[in-house]
Structure 1
Amino acid sequence: MLRLSTKVIIPDTEIQWQMVRAQGPGGQHVNKTSCAAQLFFDIRASSLPTFYRERLLGHQDHRITDSGVIIIKAQDSRSLEMNRELALKRLREIILAATKIEKKRRPTRPTRNSQKRRVESKKKQGEKKAMRRRPE
């Protein structure tokens, strides 16, 4: 069971697992055991609220396929249990990132005093450079 918020929970039955051989260093252990965890989560067939589903399907992430399945492969640890936990954590991060609503930016303008200070400092800099010139 993956808890996203107080009201939104993903049951274990909606998450499919496949254990595969890990890549990379690890010696003979990697060659003999299937300790990498591959997580499959079908967004359309899930019990997520429609808001979550729509946001996830519109989210741009390379781990979300065109058919609406999230595929996550975790192989960072030698332990299968640790890789499963890591895959669940990544799934949670993807879902929360997709449902995060960004605040709309309101364009601001510089204040009149800040404009005055800017012009005054430019004038002062110009006068300083003018004093360095050879007198005519």
Structure 2
Amino acid sequence: MIRITATLSIPDDALSERFIRASGPGGQNVNKVSTAVELRCDLKRADLPLDMMQRLQLLAGRQLTLDNVLVITADTHRSQERNRAEALGRLTALLKRAAVRPKKRIATRPTKASKQRRLDAKARTSRVKSLRRVRPAFD
């Protein structure tokens, strides 16, 4: 079980990982050892709340497949364990961001002082521009 919040966790059977060959540095092992990790999280099995799923779809973007499988690839490190830990960390961070409900905005009216400041600024700008327009008289 991977704990996301105090009340939300993902079962291990919703996760699957596959080791693939990584590009980049690795010395002689780069063509022999599969160190990159492709972590897949089946969101149907994860049993997440509907509102969290909607936020997760927006946050995940291209990492989410049409079958609602979240795919995270980590290949920055040279060892499988560090790449596995990084992929798992990215998954939990993404799910924690999706778990946070956005605050509802409460509509407020502008104060009388803020309206007056806006009108004063408009008048000042208008005055400056009108002074630029006045052409000197040629006598």
Using structure 1 for the length normalisation, give the TM-score.
0.76
Structure 1 residue 19, shift from structure 2 partner: 0.8
Any gaps of 5 or more consecutive residues in structure 1?
Answer: none
Deviations 1:58-86 (A, max 9, x none): 72321111111111111111111111111
SS of the residue aligned with 2:71?
strand
User: Structure 1 residues 37 and 115, CA, compared in 2 at 3 Å: closer, same or farther?
Assistant: same
Q: 1:7 to 1:107 in 2, by over 3 A?
A: closer
| TM-score of the superposed pair, with normalisation by structure 2 | 0.75
Aligned length in residues: 133
CA pair 124-45 structure 1, distance change in 2 beyond 3 A: closer
The answer for unaligned runs of 5 or more in structure 2 is none
C-alpha spacing 1:31/1:128, structure 2 compared with 1 (3 Å):
closer
How many angstroms apart in 2 are the aligned matches of 1:91 and 1:7? 17
Secondary structure of residue in 2 paired with 1:104 = coil
Residue of structure 2 equivalent to 1:26: 26
The residue number in structure 2 matching 1:16 is: 16
Deviation at 1:114, TM superposition (A): 1.9
Whether the aligned pair in 2 keeps the contact of 1:14 and 1:41 (CA below 8 Å) is yes
User: Residues 93-108 of structure 1 correspond to what in structure 2 (within 5 A)?
Assistant: 93-108=93-108
Q: Which has the higher helix share?
A: 2
Q: Taking every aligned residue pair, what percent have the same amino acid on both sides?
A: 35
Partner of 2:52: 55
Question: Structure 1 residues 36 and 109, CA, compared in 2 at 3 Å: closer, same or farther?
Answer: same
Aligned to 1:74: 74
**Aligned 8 A contact 2:14 2:43 in 1:** no
> Which one is further off, 2-11 or 80-89?
2-11
- Segments of 4+ moved more than 6 angstroms: none
